[in-house]
Amino acid sequence: MQLTPWIIPPLVGVVWCAATAAYSQRTRPAAAALQLRWMMLAVGTWSLAQAASLAFVSLPAQVWFSKLQYPGVLGASVAWFLFALRYTGRTPRTSTQWGPLLVLIATVITGLVFTNEWHHLIWTDVRQEQSGSLLGLTLEHGPAFYVHALYCYGLVVAATAVLAWTVGQTYHTRKQLVSIIGAPALVVAATIVYLSPVSPGVWFDFVPLAYAVAGSLLAWGLLRAGVADLVPVARNLVFESIGDAVFVLDHQGRVLDFNPAGAELFGPSTHSSIGRDFADLARAPALQQVLELGISEVQDVNLGPANYERVHDLRVSPIYNSVNGELLARVLVFRETTDRRRIEAGLRLVTESLEEANTELERLANYDTLTGLSSRRHFLHQLEREARRSQRHGHTFVLMLLDLDHFKQVNDAFGHPTGDAVLIATAQAIRSVIREVDYAGRIGGEEFAVLLPETELEGGEALAERIRAEVEALRHTDTEGNPFRVTISVGITTWGPGRDLPADLLRAADRALYAAKHSGRNRVVCAAPSGGTGGSLAGIA
């Protein structure tokens, strides 16, 4: 350890920071005061590390405490900038956006400091020098140091600009200007003295103490008065800059004040409207009724011929006397909603188009485009649903599979258009026979299926015979007008509680259809569902 008078300035800085932090504890606004206390904590850490680096004599200790100063320098600069944002009301959103980024940059720079031995970006050379009785550290700065310096002083300059601009827009007092301009001036002056040839010594560094005094100036000039001085001006700025048209009316409906957006809403005549009835200015009788009835909100207000293409929402806020409850004034806020209404109308059109498209997609997915019957996927879905419903309620239903006989010969002899006409006619015949609660589907090229809910096997067999007879009775014509007819084979089975799964039911109906084909076609064959596999429809004509 070594005792040197150069330790005194940083120790004074530590005490000064503690006193300023205690003073800011009792000031307002609380959010800004908190940022200032963080600044004083960072400066105090910086000053204490500087004092320790001068007190110790070993090179590792001096290097370590020199590195420890950098988090203090960076933290003080970041806290200064966030203090400016808090004090001027650019929060919480602005500081929430800037805060994490600023802290991230400071963290990266701090990481470079503590890993300097690997890259030498902060210090290119570190050595000890003897000056009288003091053994101190001499540092040669690398390129990253100047980035660090630019970052810190850039934040101080930005904070000063934000504070000065706000004060310039609101009020001018000597105290605030001295604190806003004097605080960074102290820091700059101390830095210039430290880096200039006129510095009394190599370790003459009053920059931490300058930061501490700067914090005191900010607390004295800005926090002692609090934001109460800013409130009237802030309200005035909001009133002038808000994008909504605002009018203040007295209890009789006469215009007391308006903002620039209000003047733009009604044109040049607005400027001569002070003291006149607002209804005369707006030339909208409906607004007078709104005021008389005490309505607080109105949507889609049309303000007359001058604004016939523009739509506004109106909000009326009454102001009462706090003593006797008497109406003193009304504040009218017109918010233009023209673009929003257009967007909503466009969204409604898009939504309707999407609904129509979804309906069409659903139709294409669930129904066969040629015959209008259910598609294979949709029919099998209905079969699964009916199986679950029948299981739950104890019902029996019938499944029939139908296949046109020798349909391939129709296509080969007369062409596919004629074949399509046969399929359409067959679908119509099936639809004409079944009930409204039944489901009919086209599950293959010339293959159809019918599901009969709550039907016994005998009823299903009778309906299958009617379908077979209807199809046989149909008369078709080829491309040359020659008549011909087709027949259909039907396999049916029934399902009830405790019986086979729908997949087994399909196989049972498939076996019955297979039997109908091989026993002469144009007939109905019934089969009870059971396990095993049967013939496939694919190879049967």
Residue 233: pLDDT band by 50, 70, 90 thresholds? Answer: very low
| C-alpha triplet 85, 232, 166: angle, nearest 5° | 30
pLDDT tens digit sequence for 185-198:
877 777 777 766 65
* Range from 208-222, 248-262, 285-299 that averages highest in pLDDT: 248-262
Tell whether the model's pLDDT for residue 467 goes beyond 70.
yes
Half-sphere exposure of 420 (CA within 13 A, CB side): 9
- Exposure on the CB side of residue 319, measured as CA atoms within 13 A: 12
Q: What is the pLDDT of residues 333-350, one digit of tens each?
A: 888 877 777 787 788 888
Residue 536 pLDDT level (bands cut at 50, 70, 90): very low
Alpha helix (H) ranges present in 125-173?
143-170
**Residue 261's pLDDT band (cuts 50, 70, 90):** confident
Q: What is the pLDDT of residue 126?
A: 86
Residue 488 φ/ψ, nearest 5 degrees: -140, 145
Is residue 522 scored above 70 in pLDDT? yes
> Which residues share a beta bridge with 441?
374, 449
The pLDDT of residue 539 is 36
In this prediction, residue 305 has a pLDDT band, given cuts at 50, 70 and 90, of low
**Range in 206-215, 223-232, 377-386, 498-507 with the lowest mean pLDDT:** 223-232
**pLDDT score at 26:** 61
pLDDT at 302: 67
Peptide bond into 92 cis (omega under 30): yes
Dump pLDDT digits (tens) for 16-39. Answer: 777 777 776 665 556 667 777 788
Residue 277 has pLDDT above 50, yes or no: yes
For the segment 50-75, what is each residue's pLDDT rounded down to a tens digit? 788 878 888 888 889 888 888 988 88
* Beta carbons of 190 and 207 less than 8 angstroms apart: yes
At 134 the three-state DSSP class reads strand
As beta bridge partners, residue 79 has none
Distances (CA, A) of 527 to 170, 229, 438, 514: 94, 95, 20, 11
Please give the mean pLDDT across all residues of the chain. Answer: 79
Contact by Cβ (8 Å): 102, 111: no
pLDDT above 50: residue 172 = no
Helix, strand, coil in percent for the chain, rounding step 5: 60, 15, 25
- Cα dist from 446 to 40, 207, 405, 423, whole Å: 88, 94, 9, 7
First-to-last CA distance in the chain? 108
Distance CA 86, CA 101 (A): 16
Taking 70 as the threshold, does the pLDDT of residue 267 lie above it?
Answer: yes
pLDDT of residue 285: 65
> Does position 325 have pLDDT exceeding 70, yes or no?
yes
How large is the average pLDDT for residues 504-509? 88
pLDDT over 60 (residue 42): yes
Predicted local confidence at residue 438, as pLDDT: 94
Q: For residue 166, with 0-12 CB atoms within 10 Å meaning exposed, 13-18 middle and 19 or more buried, which class applies?
A: buried
Question: 212 versus 70: which is more confidently predicted?
Answer: 70
pLDDT at residue 309 above 80? no
**DSSP-assigned letters across all residues of 375-413:** PHHHHHHHHHHHHHHHHHHT--EEEEEEEETTHHHHHHH
| Residue-level pLDDT at 204 | 63
Element spanning 445, H or E: none
Tracing tokens 């500081």 back to the chain, one arrives at: 95
Q: Which two tokens stand for residue 379?
A: 């029919």
In whole angstroms, what is the distance from residue 184 CA to residue 527 CA? 98
Q: What is the pLDDT of residue 87?
A: 72
Q: What is the DSSP letter of 444?
A: S
Name the percent of the chain lying above pLDDT 90.
24
Mapped onto helix, strand or coil, the DSSP state of residue 500 is coil
Cα-trace Rg, the chain: 45
Residues 422 and 410: their CA atoms lie apart, in Å, by 9
pLDDT for 173 equals 52
47 touches 17 (CB < 8 A): yes
pLDDT of residue 432 exceeding 70, the answer is yes
Higher pLDDT, 225 or 396: 396
- So what's the pLDDT on residue 410? 92
- Least confident piece of the model among 76-80, 108-112, 342-346, 380-384: 342-346
Q: Is the pLDDT of residue 140 over 50?
A: yes
440 neighbors 430 (Cβ within 8 angstroms):
yes
The residue that leads in pLDDT, 178 or 519, is 519
pLDDT for residue 417: 92
Q: Which residue has the higher pLDDT, 198 or 539?
A: 198
**What local confidence, expressed as pLDDT, does residue 399 receive?**
94
Q: Is the pLDDT of residue 471 over 60?
A: yes
Confidence class for position 200, pLDDT limits 50, 70, 90: low
Calculate helix-pair angle for 231-241, 143-170, nearest 10 degrees.
Answer: 90
pTM attached to this predicted model: 0.43
Omega of the bond leading into 29 within 30 degrees of 0 (cis): yes
Question: CA quadruple 202, 207, 212, 214: dihedral positive or negative?
Answer: positive
Q: What is the pLDDT of residue 474?
A: 93
Closest CA to 516 of 494, 487, 473, 496: 487
Burial track 450-477 (b if 16+ CB lie within 10 A, e otherwise): bbbbebebeebbebbeebbebbeebebe
Residue 229 predicted with pLDDT over 80: no
Of residues 130 and 155, more confidently modeled: 155
Average pLDDT over residues 252-276: 77
Assess contact for 454 and 386: CB atoms under 8 A.
no
In Å, how far are 96, 315, 326, 334 from 287, measured between CA atoms? 42, 11, 22, 12
Report d(CA 148, CA 530) in Å as an integer: 84
510 pLDDT tier (thresholds 50, 70, 90)? very high
What average pLDDT does this structure show over 307-330?
A: 77
Percent of the chain exceeding pLDDT 70 equals 80
| DSSP 8-state secondary structure symbol assigned to residue 21 | H
In the three-class reduction of DSSP (H, G, I as helix; E, B as strand; rest coil), residue 268 is classed as helix
Token pair belonging to 512? 């019955």
Tens digits of per-residue pLDDT, 103-123? 889 899 999 989 988 998 988
Burial class (CB in 10 A: 0-12, 13-18, 19+), 345: exposed
- What is the SS3 assignment for 200? coil
pLDDT at 243 over 90: no
Residue 534 has pLDDT above 70, yes or no: no
* Confidence class for position 491, pLDDT limits 50, 70, 90: very high
